[in-house]
Amino acid sequence: MGSSFRALPQGRATDTLFDNIMEFSHILFLGFAALAVVAAFNVILQRNPIYSAIGLIVVLCSLAALFLTLGAQFIAAMQIIVYAGAIMVLFVFVIMLLNVRAEETRIDKQKYLKWLAAPLFLALLAEVMAVVRQVNLTPRPLESANVVTNPENVLGTVENIANGMFTYYVIPFEAASVLILMAIVGSMLLARRERQEDVERIEKALAGQQEEEEEKYKEEVAA
Amino acid sequence: MVPLSWYLALSAVLFTVGVIGVLIQRNVISLFMCIELMLNAVNLSLVTFSRLHGNVTGQLFVFIVMAVAAAEAAVGLAIIIALFRSRETLNVDEADLLKL
């Protein structure tokens, strides 16, 4: 047991401590997590929906970055393309279409909800944190995220996702496509403005029906 | 490597913020965005568990959740447009036609 043996572990210990505190992934996580939480509070506290939408976009983008640190490359790309791209554009489009101003006259019928919000926030948070503490989390390390050297260790590539989605989970995939088709048809039907001639035709038909019924009723009474 | 419980804690915080947003917002579009926030918090925990087990299934779930969220956003926003046409308001307290 020479002193040289003892010097090495000590050096290693400070190294790992340094790694634990200042590791790059920690900085990455803390930065994006803080950004996400601040932007989430921005979403719920803004009065003007357009600012809420911008906060939500920031949340979505920082979550995409966190997905990357978890080895979910494809999902991160989808998060940006589908969520921050398509869905949020839809939101902003509707906000601008309806020309919503910040809520001018706030006739709040449910004021008690606001006082309920803070205790509920703390209670729900404590509950979920208690559950999180009980879960014993020791991740199986992914040795490398390099597709070229050892592809089997990469988790969320397009290839892996596609392997799962088009073999074992093909039925949910098809069900999702049918759902989206129904959503397209349904949203067009719901948001369509009724044309004036259609309205007149329907009203005429209804009036005709009413007259017919009245005539029938009169005949019945006469009989 | 960041401990995975941190990700779960972040997911819990985001979900809770979404729930509180549903309680304190009265604008129907803002309510909708709070729901999207909750969906994203759940997505984060699904991806975290996928990483924990080294299994891609959780990410497939996230993909399906995204598809459902897209469909929900399209139909929901169409309903909001129809509501605005008939009631001229976006306040959820005003949309109480079925109430006695």
Count of helix runs (H) and strand runs (E) in chain B: 3, 0
**Chain B contacts of A191, Cβ < 8 Å?**
77-78, 81-82
Q: Which of residues 53-82 of B touch A (CB under 8 A)?
A: 53-54, 56-57, 59-60, 62-64, 66-75, 77-82
Is A160 close to B56, i.e. CB distance below 8 A?
A: yes
Do the Cβ atoms of B48 and B4 come closer than 8 Å?
yes
**Model-level pTM?**
0.78
Q: What is the pLDDT of residues B2-36, one digit of tens each?
A: 778 888 889 989 999 998 898 888 888 999 999 99
SS3 B27: strand
- Tokens representing residue B14 in the block: 């985001």
DSSP state of A152: G
Do the Cβ atoms of B37 and A43 come closer than 8 Å?
yes
Strand partners, B91: B27
Cα(A109)–Cα(A113) distance, rounded to whole angstroms?
A: 10
Do the Cβ atoms of A165 and B58 come closer than 8 Å?
no
Tens-digit pLDDT profile for chain A (223 aa)? 334 344 444 444 444 545 555 577 788 899 999 999 999 999 998 888 899 999 999 999 999 999 988 888 899 999 999 988 889 999 999 988 887 665 555 556 666 777 777 888 888 888 888 877 777 666 665 555 555 555 555 677 888 888 888 999 999 999 999 999 999 999 988 888 777 777 777 778 878 877 888 888 888 888 7
Is B93 close to A114, i.e. CB distance below 8 A?
A: no
